[in-house]
Amino acid sequence: MQTAILRTEDVTKVYHTGAVDVHALRGIDLSLYEGEIVVLLGASGSGKSTLLNILGALDRPSSGRVFFRDQELTDLSDAALTEFRRDRVGFVFQFYNLVPSLTAQENVALVTEIAEAPMTPAEALSRVGLSERMSHFPAELSGGEQQRVAIARAIAKRPDILLCDEPTGALDSKTGITVLEALVEVNRSLGTTTALITHNAAIRRIAHRVIYMADGEISRIEENPNRVAPSEVSW
């Protein structure tokens, strides 16, 4: 029996902008299980980012409930949600958002200085294969290396959940694979539950499960018993 770490119950999200309401999520029932890598696939506009942001408590649903283990997140105050996010969730986005005037190590230290029981920046960077690049500035690093710094920054606080929105979206195939390798290694060694959005279907092969979204709904969930290493994936 797998343990759900995050669970949604009939989650909807409606954006009220302009004359028409956008139904971004139309009743999502989903569990993410301890230690798994899930890939979320779906066309642009299908609701992937909206769902990820709600799972990571960056946003609230319009209706429905979200649970982290036994705790209902949808009950929490804004302050308590912020605390949940700070302690439990790591985010990685398509653009790395590193501070240009700080080295790789200093960028990671921004997070470790405020976390409860963080790993050192050196350990976090070593886990993504950047031990030799710690004192480089972002401008001295390739796109893939910068994204791995962003991953190091996200995992340094030892989050329970790592949420990645198009982490390879700005990268070529070869560089994207080094980023996926870092994510798979973090998942393997730390057991961090990882959800990864992509519109690149080939990447589903690295996941334990694949969640297909269409038009604000989950259209299909597949188990992937034949996972492959990122180096086996090409696009």
50 binds, options Mg ion, ligand ADP, none, Cβ within 5 to 8 A by partner type: ligand ADP
Rounded CA separation 79/67 (Å): 17
For residue 40, the minimal CB distance to ligand ADP (Å) is: 8
122: three-class secondary structure by DSSP:
helix
For residue 222, the minimal CB distance to ligand ADP (Å) is: 18
45 lines the binding site for ligand ADP (CB under 6 A): yes
For residue 218, the minimal CB distance to Mg ion (Å) is: 15
Q: Which CB sits closer to Mg ion, 53 or 175?
A: 53
Q: How far is CA 94 from CA 68, 167, 233, in A?
A: 25, 5, 19
Rounded CA separation 56/42 (Å): 19
Please identify which residue in 46, 107, 147, 187 interacts with ligand ADP, judged by CB under 6 A. Answer: 46
For residue 61, the minimal CB distance to Mg ion (Å) is: 17
**Burial 137-168, CB ≥16 within 10 A → b, else e:** bbeebebbbbbbbbbbbbbbbbbbbbbbbbbb
198 binds, options Mg ion, ligand ADP, none, Cβ within 5 to 8 A by partner type: none
Q: How far is CA 223 from CA 196, 210, 216, in A?
A: 15, 6, 21
167 lines the binding site for ligand ADP (CB under 6 A): no
Rounded CA separation 105/103 (Å): 5
Q: Which of residues 1-40 bind ligand ADP (CB under 6 A)?
A: 15, 17, 22, 24
For residue 235, the minimal CB distance to ligand ADP (Å) is: 18
Residues near Mg ion (CB under 5 A) are 49
